[in-house]
Amino acid sequence: MANNDLAQLIEAFDRLSAGGFAMGADWQAVHDICQRHEGEQPFDWGHALCHRIEGDDWNADYWYRRAGKARGTGTMADEWSAMRTELSAKV
């Protein structure tokens, strides 16, 4: 896993967060980064959050299982905050 790609994921999620986790270009950018790294835990976790944002719980749960994580029970912002802390430690 390239640290640069992980940094790009964090930056893309920060933009998505700043936009209120709205579907659109920022969501698509995060999703694209995650798809390029399918099978890598941090990106699978990001993929899960993407589908949670989308409202596709079945698909989100698939990616949470692949990432070894449980679906967040708080807000998207709460989950992103916890995810950002963990991912930032890996960059």
14 contacts: CB under 8 Å, gap ≥ 6:
84
Per-residue pLDDT tens over the stretch 1-51: 567 999 999 999 999 999 999 999 999 999 999 999 999 999 999 999 999
The DSSP 8-state label assigned to residue 21 in this structure reads S
Q: CB 53: neighbour CB atoms within 10 A?
A: 19
Q: Which of 25, 88, 34 is closest to 66 using CA atoms?
A: 34
Structural domain boundaries of the chain? 3-89
Q: What CA–CA distance (Å, rounded) separates 14 from 17? A: 5
Query: Does this model's pTM top 0.85?
Result: yes
Q: pLDDT for 66-91, tens place per residue?
A: 999 999 899 999 999 999 999 999 88
Instruction: Return the H-helix or E-strand segment holding 17.
Output: helix 3-18
Count Cβ atoms within 10 A of the Cβ of residue 47 and give its class: 0-12 exposed, 13-18 middle, 19 or more buried. buried
